Amino acid sequence: MNELDYALETVDEETFENLAAAFLRSRGYRTREIGVSETFDGWDARVAMRVRSGIAHASIAEDWREQLRADAEKLKEMEEERNERYHLFVFVTNRDVTGQQEYDMEDEIAEEYGWRLRLYHRQDLLGEIYNNVPGLAKHHLDVNLGFDTDHLANLEELLTERLNAIQERRDEATDLDPGPTVAIHVVPNGIFSTRKTRSTADMPDPSVLSEPVSVATDARGKLKVAYDRDGGLGYRGYALLRNDGLYESVTTRLFYESEPGELLLRASAEDDAPGLDASVVVAVRETLAHLSSMGYSATASVWISVLGAADAKLDRGRVERSSTSPPALGIDRYSTEVVTTSIADREREAVLEDLEPALSELWRQFGYSEGTRHVEDGEWHDGVVGDDLPSP
């Protein structure tokens, strides 16, 4: 158990309540703290996320389920007494919660009270603090993450190792078709923790980028691999899912030559050919569902990389094809800054909102200063894909 994990395990009630309030704000909730409440015997706040509004509560009770049920019952009484209608009940605990426990409790609260439960637990807190707001650790728990386990550095080292293997056509990329590639990596926060070894036979089949028609799946050792075969000896792309939660998908399908010597990366779907943005969103959402089924329920880090594409330009599709276009990428390897997304909250709007910074960063690297034209404020624009994005 590292220093931050230990601090969350032993935190006192008042400190945890202050941390929970800051955590919720970092997750995008609008909060108005009520403070110590006679209703809940602790801290609570009015919260809102997008169009939903409700009440949040924080607790360090060892039996978090008993505490959550008791708070839900009291919240129902308050709702009736005040003649108000709540849509959201947010519960923050410093205890560990499994994915199945989370789903069961969400169903129970929805059936009993008609509210949507958002349950945040220790792994959620660890993921958010490590990846997005390390200052909360110092401010509330007196833990300086600069001297901790260098979680992000470990993730970046893992990413570099995998990208090297792809470019050098090693490991699962040995028979990948030559040429430039797009790769995405999704890494759950708990990848470096000690977990029970999962049988690959029980793991879901990984989702392959760019929605190939024919996929061949193979289970080996500690991973499952799905190959996008195209009739030849090699393959156009693949996806792998390891039993520690690492997901990687690589494809050459998103690149094409519009004329001899002009290499383009297809950003928008066109003539039934998938585009970069939609391919990434679909693959990430499906992967989050797979990670949830494997027992992960906190957050995941996501990177989008373009390899061997220094001469490629970004093709925006039919919207704008003029005689002048932005320059080629000019870099042999480019990876976006890491973005973090919730494994539990896989609604389309939430995933789109989380991935938009990475997609826009990639568009800007190709010379489009406004970023992606497909995603804005958690909404999909340009009806090529639109509402057809599947729900995991």
As a whole number, the mean pLDDT across the chain is 83
Residue 249: its pLDDT value, please? 97
pLDDT tens track for 207-252 = 999 866 678 889 888 899 999 987 666 799 999 999 989 999 999 9
Does residue 59 register a pLDDT over 50?
A: yes
Tell me what the mean pLDDT of segment 265-287 comes to.
86
pLDDT tens track for 314-354 = 988 755 554 456 789 999 999 998 888 888 767 777 888 88
Residue 391: its pLDDT value, please? 34
Total residues found in the chain within this entry:
392
Instruction: Give 189 or 64, the one with higher predicted confidence.
Output: 64
Nearest-10 crossing angle of helices 3-10, 122-131: 140
Task: Return the closest-CA partner of residue 254 out of 174, 324, 308, 303.
Answer: 308
Does residue 86 register a pLDDT over 90?
A: no
Residue 247: its pLDDT value, please? 97
Share of the chain above pLDDT 70, in %: 82
pTM of the model: 0.66
Query: What residue type is assigned to position 96 of the chain?
Result: D
Does residue 37 register a pLDDT over 50?
A: no
SS (H, E, C) the chain: CCHHHHHHHHCCHHHHHHHHHHHHHHCCCEEEEEEEECCCCEEEEEEEECCEEEEEEEECCCCHHHHHHHHHHHHHHHHHHCCCCCCEEEEEECCCCCHHHHHHHHHHHHHHHCCEEEEECHHHHHHHHHHCCCHHHHHHHCCCHHHCCCHHHHHHHHHHHHHHHHHCCCHHHCCECCCCEEEEEEEEHHHHCCCCCCCHHHCCCCCCCCCCCCEEEEEECCEEEEEEECCCCCEEEEEEEECCCCEEEEECCCEEEEECCEEEEECCCECCECCHHHHHHHHHHHHHHHHHHCCCCCEEEEEEEEECCCCCEEECCCCCCCCCCCCCCCCCEEECCCEEEECCCCCHHHHHHHHHHHHHHHHHHCCCCCCCCCEECCEECCCCCHHHCCCC
